[in-house]
Amino acid sequence: MPLPVDAAMPFALTGAHHMLRESVRELSERHIAPRAAGIDETEEYPEDIFQLLKAQDLLGVYLPEAYGGAGMGVLGACIAIEEIARVCSNSPLFLSVHLLATRPIEIAGSEAQKQRYLTGIAAGEMRASFSTTEAHAGTDVGNIRTRAVHEGGEWVINGQKTYCTGSPFADFIAVAAKTDPNAGIRGISLFIVPAGAPGFTIGRTERKMGMRGIPTCELFFENCRIPAENIIGEQDRGFMTAMLGFNQARPGIGARGVGLAQGCLDYAADYARDREAFGQPIAGFQAVQFILADMFMAIEAARLLVYRAAAMVDEGRFGKEEVHFISAAKCYASDIAMKAAVDGIQLLCGAGYMKDHPLERFMRDAKQLQIIEGTNQVQRSIIARNLLNL
Catalytic residues: 373
DSSP conformation class of 206: P
Distance CA 302, CA 288 (A): 21
Q: Are 192 and 149 in contact (CB under 8 A)?
A: no
45: nearest Cα among 176, 192, 216: 216
User: CB within 8 A of 60, min separation 6: which ones?
Assistant: 67, 68, 69, 70, 118, 121, 122, 123, 124
Could you tell me which residues are beta bridge partners of residue 98?
none
Distance CA 168, CA 316 (A): 32
Distance CA 23, CA 258 (A): 18
99: nearest Cα among 79, 84, 121: 121
Identify residue 190 by its one-letter amino acid code.
L
Distance CA 345, CA 284 (A): 18
Burial of 179 (0-12, 13-18, 19+ CB in 10 A): buried
